[in-house]
Structure 1
Amino acid sequence: MIVSVHLADIGARAALAALRDRPHPGNTPGLRYAETTITGGIAAGLPKVRLGRAALIAAWEDDAALDRFLAEDPTARRLARGWHVRLQPLRVSGSWSPMPVDIAPAAALDDEDGPVAVLTLGRLRLRRAVPFLRANSRASGQAAADPSMVASIALARPPRFVATFSIWRSESAMSRYAYGTAQPRQRGVATRHESAGNQHKQVIKQHQADPFHHEAAFVRFRPYASQGTLDGREPVAAAMAAATQP
């Protein structure tokens, strides 16, 4: 199993049309899951909606299935002038029943501390929408200010589907943002890096106390191939370059 994320600036009308015309596993060979979304910027405050930028999240049997899609599918042609990345799943927390995540044993044991991509997925409880937006605003502001995050985008398919996608220069840097340490801590074991100011952990605590979502997942990936540019640069190459800096 592999996952791909596609982003392209195609104009507001075409982006809204993409919400209706997403590919379906039943008629796209090798496709396991697909979601098209509108997008926005990740920053403190409410997400800044970017109606002209469309996104596609998709899961595939293998690279050959994605290659066929890119060569033949109308949705792929619509997004062709943008950027897309191929992702190998490494770890998953939570679950996403529309897209069960398969992690190859070799991937799970990979200790290379290189660039990492993170996809968060949620099916929002509408009664919890306002608390979710408030909590997420604080965490988003902290993430946007972190120099280790190379690229990020908010994704949504109203009224319930919400997601984020980000690329970090290393897995350890991402974990320090998310958990206050280079690795998720074991239950009941504190670390000297932890801080009450870690907004991401505060969001997790609030979600555990009264879930924001009917279902949610946090998935880490190794980005292994990409094509095109996003906001004038190629994010994976930028992450690799940042990882070599002190």
Structure 2
Amino acid sequence: MSLFTYHLVKTNYLSALKAYLFPPTSKEVPGLIHAECMTAMTLGSKIFSPSRMLIRKVAVFAQWENEAALENFLEQNSFGKSLNKGWHTRLIYLRQWGKISGFEIPGARDEEDDPEAPVVAVTLARMKLPEVPRFIHWGRPVEKLVRDHPGTTLALASIRLPRTVSTFSVWKKQEDMVKMVHGHSEVPRPKRHSNAMKEKERKDFHFEFTTLRFKPIAEYGVWENRSDIIPGIKQSEPK
């Protein structure tokens, strides 16, 4: 069974640029199925602001053949060693909506969803460039909804120019995330997400889009002076 990981690390500009321009590939890294290397962004921030694109903060979403391949990458690969100085979570796939190229998404799992269990959500999209203004108009309110939602412990966005955009969010309970998606959260303007999805169905912003839901099984390291980000998951020390 394959393993997914999501990594966050703050590094220097040169290392961040190198990761951005020359991300790890399956041809170079044994056991890596696919990886997306992106620049972290602050959800809901103004489009033209220093917090919109945090150049030194690298986000990596990856899929591995097995945990041994991941461990070898973190211990032996120069970029892996850099990522190992940050924070990451290890994830088991639960379900998918939409499709995206590059990854090998497993078939549907028989495991029942636990509404009380923590869950991690990752969205990944390839933009239609002429639709970017519409996407920003409808997307920023959703970013603020997720960022400020009492059910999240961590929520951020990331980008790889010119087309790839992504979000990552950790939810205390799967029930909280589901209510947010359907516009039933007890927060101001709860239908921001559902309204944006209706607009997407009317006229798509992307030529590829997927939302992935995961069961977090471990977390390692520290992100912005925080650890124990995922409820109920014991913090582990990087090897």
In 1, Cα distance between the equivalents of 2:159 and 2:141? 18
Indicate which of 207, 210, 213 corresponds to 1:217.
210
Range 155-164 or range 228-237, more displaced: 228-237
Could you say which residue in structure 2 is the equivalent of 1:17? 18
1:45, 1:141 within 8 Å by CA — same for their partners in 2?
no
Could you say which residue in structure 1 is the equivalent of 2:67? 63
CA gap 1:207/1:39 in 2 versus in 1, 3 angstroms: same
In 1, Cα distance between the equivalents of 2:137 and 2:7? 28
In 2, Cα distance between the equivalents of 1:143 and 1:153? 9
In 1, Cα distance between the equivalents of 2:65 and 2:108? 13
Could you say which residue in structure 2 is the equivalent of 1:149? 152
2:117, 2:173 within 8 Å by CA — same for their partners in 1?
yes
Could you say which residue in structure 2 is the equivalent of 1:176? 179
CA gap 1:9/1:213 in 2 versus in 1, 3 angstroms: same
Q: How many residues are aligned here?
A: 229
Return the TM-score normalized by structure 1. Answer: 0.86
Confirm or deny that 1:105 pairs with 2:97: no
1:118, 1:221 within 8 Å by CA — same for their partners in 2?
yes
Indicate which of 68, 73, 79 corresponds to 1:75.
79
CA RMSD after TM alignment: 2.2
Could you say which residue in structure 1 is the equivalent of 2:169? 166
Gaps in structure 1 of 5+ consecutive residues: 183-192, 242-246
Confirm or deny that 1:240 pairs with 2:232: yes
| 1:171-210 mapped onto 2 (5 Å cutoff) | 171-181=174-184, 197-210=190-203
Return the TM-score normalized by structure 2. Answer: 0.88
Q: What residue identity is the alignment partner of 1:120?
A: T
Gaps in structure 2 of 5+ consecutive residues: 234-239
Confirm or deny that 1:123 pairs with 2:126: yes
Q: What is the aligned-residue identity percentage?
A: 28
In 2, Cα distance between the equivalents of 1:66 and 1:36? 16
Could you say which residue in structure 2 is the equivalent of 1:90? 94
Q: Aligned to 2:58, what secondary structure does the other structure show?
A: strand
Indicate which of 113, 125, 136 corresponds to 1:133.
136
In 2, Cα distance between the equivalents of 1:19 and 1:200? 29
2:147, 2:156 within 8 Å by CA — same for their partners in 1?
no
In 2, Cα distance between the equivalents of 1:59 and 1:28? 12
Confirm or deny that 1:227 pairs with 2:231: no
In 1, Cα distance between the equivalents of 2:190 and 2:7? 33
In 2, Cα distance between the equivalents of 1:7 and 1:97? 22
Q: What residue identity is the alignment partner of 2:53?
A: V
Q: What residue identity is the alignment partner of 2:89?
A: V
Cα shift readout 1:45-80 (whole Å, capped 9, x = no counterpart): 437221110111110111111111111111111222
